[in-house]
């Protein structure tokens, strides 16, 4: 993978400005966006808000906002990195959705858990493409990616790489309980070797889930219903 910054990258047929502050959106992530759009198309209830966690370049939130078949009540995008949020703002303006999307600096869903302003919808869709590459995998990484892309976007220095998603899942349970949502649907992207581990984990929580394959026919996207 050859990286030249600053650059414009295409994702979901939209153009995104990228530089060293964000992960370059990957084509495989389009599968997750497809599944969100499909879920919105078949939604019986149209009282839905949307949150994209770890928004980076804003690829997911922009693609969903530009292609949603229904009017979403509120749209939020969060990132723990202030640098990434600056790039997200550029792309949200570039794609002319600044009136629809609110950007926040937050560690996962923390801002919504501590916020006294409640999310104004009975249903919520959350997307998250979080850092999921574990410690031991660093030696298999493309040097160009290691030298250029922000490590906060790639690595989660623990055993399975799924730990940040586990923390997010517990936050979703808490958010659902606090705000009395009818339903929350979480879409996450995982690394190719997390299929079995993630399935065992979701089963242990009695959650309803479905896996989707990426462009290389590998299970990389999970839809989880709360």
Ligand X SMILES: C[S@@+](CC[C@H](N)C(=O)[O-])C[C@H]1O[C@@H](n2cnc3c(N)ncnc32)[C@H](O)[C@@H]1O
In the complex, the residues that contact ligand X under the rule CB under 6 A are: 22-23, 25, 29, 53-57, 59-60, 78-81, 84, 107-108, 129-131, 152-153
- Give whichever of 171 and 182 is closer to ligand X, judged by the CB atom: 171
C-alpha angle 61/64/70, rounded to 5°? 130
Using a 10 angstrom Cβ sphere, with 0-12 exposed, 13-18 middle and 19 or more buried, the burial of residue 169 is buried
Q: Reduce the secondary structure of 191-211 to three states and give it as a string.
A: CHHHHHHHHHHHHHCCCEEEE
Least Å from the CB of residue 175 to ligand X: 14
Length of the chain, in residues? 226
- Closest CB to ligand X among 174 and 203? 174
Whose Cβ is closer to ligand X: residue 72's or residue 77's?
Answer: 77
Q: Distances from the Cα of 92 to the Cαs of 9, 25, 56, 207, in angstroms?
A: 14, 14, 11, 33
**Closest distance between ligand X and the C-beta of residue 72, in Å?**
17
Nearer to ligand X, 84 or 184 (CB): 84
Using CB atoms within 10 A of its CB, is residue 179 exposed (0-12), middle (13-18) or buried (19+)? Answer: middle
Minimum distance from CB of 96 to ligand X (Å)? Answer: 19
In the complex with ligand X, the residue whose CB is nearer, 44 or 114, is: 114
Q: Are 78 and 126 in contact (CB under 8 A)?
A: no
> What's the min distance (Å) between Cβ of 192 and ligand X?
14
Residue closer to ligand X (CB basis): 105 or 178: 105
CA torsion angle for 58, 106, 210, 13 (degrees, to 10)? 0
Three-state secondary structure call for residue 37:
helix
Q: Which helix (H) or strand (E) holds 15?
A: strand 14-18
Least gap, CB of 134 to ligand X (angstroms): 14
Q: Closest approach of Cβ 153 to ligand X, in Å? A: 4
Spatial distance between the Cα atoms of 195 and 143, rounded to a whole number of angstroms: 25
């Amino acid at each position: 993978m050859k990286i030249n910054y600053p650059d414009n990258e295409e994702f979901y047929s939209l153009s995104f400005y990228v530089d060293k502050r964000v992960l370059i959106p990957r084509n495989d992530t389009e599968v997750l966006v497809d599944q969100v759009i499909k879920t919105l198309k078949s939604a019986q209830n149209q009282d839905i808000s949307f949150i994209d966690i770890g928004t980076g370049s804003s690829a997911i939130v922009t693609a969903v906002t530009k292609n949603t078949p229904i009017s979403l009540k509120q749209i939020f995008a969060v990132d723990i990195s202030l640098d990434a949020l600056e790039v997200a703002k550029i792309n949200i303006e570039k794609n002319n959705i600044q009136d629809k999307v609110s950007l926040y600096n937050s560690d996962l869903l923390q801002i919504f858990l501590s916020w006294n302003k409640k999310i104004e919808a009975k249903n919520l869709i959350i997307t998250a493409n979080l850092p999921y590459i574990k410690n031991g995998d660093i030696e298999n990484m493309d040097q160009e990616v290691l030298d250029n892309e922000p490590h906060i976007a790639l690595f989660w220095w623990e055993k399975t790489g799924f730990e940040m998603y586990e923390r997010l899942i517990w936050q979703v349970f808490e958010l659902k309980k606090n705000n009395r949502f009818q339903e929350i649907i979480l879409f996450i992207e995982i690394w190719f070797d997390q299929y079995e581990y993630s399935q065992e984990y979701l089963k242990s929580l009695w959650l309803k889930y479905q896996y989707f394959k990426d462009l290389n026919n590998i299970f990389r996207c999970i839809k989880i219903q709360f």
